[in-house]
Chain A
Amino acid sequence: MIKRLVLTGVAALAMASAVAAAADTPASLMAHYAQAAGVPVSALSATRGAAFYRTEHAGRNAQAVSCASCHTANPKQAGQTRVGKRIEPLAPAANPQRFTDAAKVEKWFRRNCQDVLLRECSAQEKGDFIAWLAQVK
């Protein structure tokens, strides 16, 4: 009985967090990353975000890589994975699904920052990145 109650509770929590995840927006994620970086949202910079997106780094094979390598120079365009699969555009102006699920956003920052920068990205970098993409028209 107790086990069942606990399970029901866990299920309810999971549902609640799923609902919460679906309710994320670029603005709420910017607020989240600004807070994590210890700065006001106004301190996030779209200019820095754009530069971050385009800056090339020596990737894992010492081959120059940037966000734009896969996402293309124009974030309103579709990109391509290394094996040739389409990547939907990153800019919310072209793809409203972007930055609406905090867990998904974190998953891809974790993976792609390791691949491109060979380290995790800082909260400030993530905030700048979204600040730029959110205002692309």
Chain B
Amino acid sequence: MSNYLLRGIGVLAAVGAITVLAFSLPAGGEARGDDGDDVMPRLTHKAWQQECASCHIAYAPSFLPKASWRKIMGGLDQHFGENASLDPATQADILKFLEANAADAGGSRMGRRVMQGIDTQNPPLRITETRWYVHKHDEVPRSAWSRKSVGSASNCAACHRQAEQGVFDEDTVRIPK
């Protein structure tokens, strides 16, 4: 009898420990750590990477607040002039991940910087519209944006050569000719 009781307590303790551990880890798992605002926390989420990155890089969730991601994910059939519609289950799965790691989800220095210039009443649809983005890129000559090798401001990897790995620090920037 007491043997069962002890075993029961053991199981409960183990479940408790695992739960505490699980909640203390950031969603998606973080390998590099958010030690600056130029290196994104390394996030892994299968659908986000697979679906979002089929046309552009999988933009970090901390580039925009939750309200922006809700607007974007709610209008995928008209996604900046293209139909990017998903099945409802995948769409909901990705939105949940984006919300959990958004700029205003807390826990990222990068997110706090982005939030400083956000008009929460009118959440932006484009990362390039945020005051944070504009400020970060104010030294880039206007002519560079229209180069064929760059294509568009949405093409982070044209200049941020390690953008797909979440690395945006200045040492890795090379503006193509």
Contact = CB atoms under 8 A, between A and B. Distances in A.
Interface residues on B, range: 20 to 34
Interface in B147-174: 150-152, 154-155, 157-158
Contact of B56 (A60, A61, A83, A110): A83
Q: Specify which of A82, A84, A107 lies most central, judged by the most chain B CB atoms within 10 Å of its CB.
A: A84
B82 A82 contact: yes
Interface in A88-115: 107, 110-112, 114-115
Interface residues of A, number: 13
Contacts of A111: 82-85
A4 interface: no
Contact of A81 (B56, B83, B158): B56
Contacts of B85: 110-111
B36 to A, nearest CB: 26
B81 interface: yes
Given A83-B55, A83-B151, A84-B151, A112 B81 contact: no
B82 A110 contact: no
Contacts of A114: 77, 83
B57 interface: yes
A48 to B, nearest CB: 24
Contact of B55 (A61, A81, A107): A81
Interface string A53-69: 00000001100000000
9 contacts: A81-B56, A84-B152, A84-B155, A85-B53, A110-B85, A111-B82, A111-B84, A111-B85, A112-B83
Interface of B: 53-57, 77, 81-87, 150-152, 154-155, 157-158
